Structure 1
């Protein structure tokens, strides 16, 4: 995951989440069908130690249930509907998403896994993520460029844990402060990329060049407007995350 002079690669943010409920199998299948170069997910640990693709601490916003993810078992989560009206769907595990991505034969697709912090299980989340990637044979790539997985976090400590245990696995230090991203945090933890929001990128377009000068790629989130897609392309952003992967691919192809 090195700085790239080509147009940005398109990452489906929680799947094709503008058209399907986020983090559902249907959202990721649609994103792959639309030609996404990568797919992004957030992961949390259940009470019985399973990694599930859920953004929030609670399930209220994205399911028909209530409660904290960390206080529920996988079996309890499976009883909830995460698909919404007309498209019932059970909670998606990280293992199920990895299987989908690796089985997709149309093109190689990267998986971007974001670990959430602070959480009650602390560094166990990163340990579990690495164990799951290892189970599928993608935790120790021959190089960062050939990796099928990327691990991201807003927590510098979480990124450091990954770099210490899997030095060739690409990592993204997410953040919304230009000083934070441009300073020593990414260097200290050895992140291979920085991840500003598109709002930060508009205010500080120099971030991309500063990251490239340090040998780092740029991952920008969440890019849904055509003007912002063009900005990412013009600045040389390596990866952009969007809720509209198909539409974004079309905009980039039309230039």
Structure 2
């Protein structure tokens, strides 16, 4: 299925865009290349990934601080070199609905391989579509600002630091860390930033205000359930509103009614079916 350009109108005028959280992570192991190629095939509007630095300063797509949950290894990602991480299996932990995990491993020996950001960017740019691409830098980390510096180096190599271009991914960098966003603004001022907000958010996010230089807010779906007026509070100030993680039908309906801009979901296929 062809992925729609973000510049085109959707069949349903003004509907929220649907972003695959860690790829199509309900269908495939999160943050694997299979999760992202599955999302592309579904026709999503965008994808989301988390990045961490390895001990030898490679950016890899892993959510957790440790390798334990999503691989057959153990240890803190930042203390392990890429070569060691590539020895681990990052897919077999996931039990697929159709029970075909072993068959998929036979067809695709790389399925369990750790995904580097560069490999993901290769796949994204080969789509030649304007996919919304949300990259979250994970903090705190022992490497501090090196994460953002390495991220900008990688994005620059693919021509993704000079604003949104046709037939290329439209990158947004996200973080719960305001300092990380400040660093990104200094390193790549044309890359839009997303301030991620949890329920324990400071007051500034509840009245629709955001830090200087940030025009997108990423809201925990729990906030939207509890205080739906926050969506319009931000949009009145000209901010886009992204909501995560939207998996339940009632949350999809709520986000549509409120007019959020982006829904980030583990289940993009189900969400798109509801919108259609």
User: If the length of structure 1 is used for normalisation, what is the TM-score?
Assistant: 0.91
For 1:89-238, list aligned pairs within 5 A. 89-105=112-128, 107-141=129-163, 148-176=170-198, 177=201, 179-182=203-206, 186-188=210-212, 190-238=213-261
Unmatched runs of 5 consecutive residues or more in structure 2: 1-5, 93-100, 106-110
How do 1:32-43 and structure 2 match up within 5 A? Answer: 32-43=40-51
Equivalence for 2:98: none
Distance 1:215 1:185 in 2: 10
Question: In the alignment, is the contact (CA less than 8 A) between 2:208 and 2:233 conserved in 1?
Answer: no
- Determine if contact 1:151/1:172 at 8 Å carries over to the other structure: yes
Which deviates the most, 35-44 or 81-90? Answer: 81-90
State whether residues 125 and 169 of structure 2, in contact with CA within 8 Å, keep that contact through their aligned partners in structure 1: no
Residue 178 of structure 1, CA deviation = 6.8
SS of the equivalent of 2:173 reads strand
SS at match of 2:69: coil
State the SS of the aligned residue for 2:211.
helix
Could you list the per-position Cα deviations for residues 227-252 of structure 1 after superposition, in whole angstroms to 9, with x for gaps in the alignment? 11111111111111000111111111
In 2 relative to 1, CA 50–214 (structure 1 residues): closer, same or farther, beyond 3 Å? same
Q: Is the 8 A contact 1:9 1:37 kept in 2?
A: yes
Structure number, greater radius of gyration: 2
Of residues 34, 45, 56 in structure 2, which corresponds to 1:48?
56
2:208 touches 2:237 (CA, 8 Å); kept in 1? no
In structure 2, C-alpha distance between the alignment counterparts of 1:217 and 1:110, rounded to whole Å: 13
2:14 counterpart of 1:6: yes
Q: 1: distance between equivalents of 2:174 and 2:156? A: 17
Partner of 1:16: 24
Q: Note closer, same or farther for the CA distance 1:154–1:61 as it changes in structure 2 (3 Å cut).
A: same
Count of residues in correspondence between the two structures: 247
Given that 1:156 and 1:185 are in contact with CA atoms closer than 8 Å, whether structure 2 keeps it comes out as no
Larger RCO: 1 or 2 (CA < 8 Å, sep 6+):
1
1:174-197 deviation line (CA, Å, top 9, x unaligned): 011272423587233x21201111
CA drift of 1:80 comes to 0.3
How far off is 1:71 after superposition? 0.5
Residue 74 of structure 2 is aligned to residue 66 of structure 1 = yes
Answer whether contact 1:60 1:67 (CA < 8 A) is retained: yes
Q: Structure 1 unaligned runs (5+)? A: none
The root-mean-square deviation of aligned C-alpha atoms, in Å, is 2.0
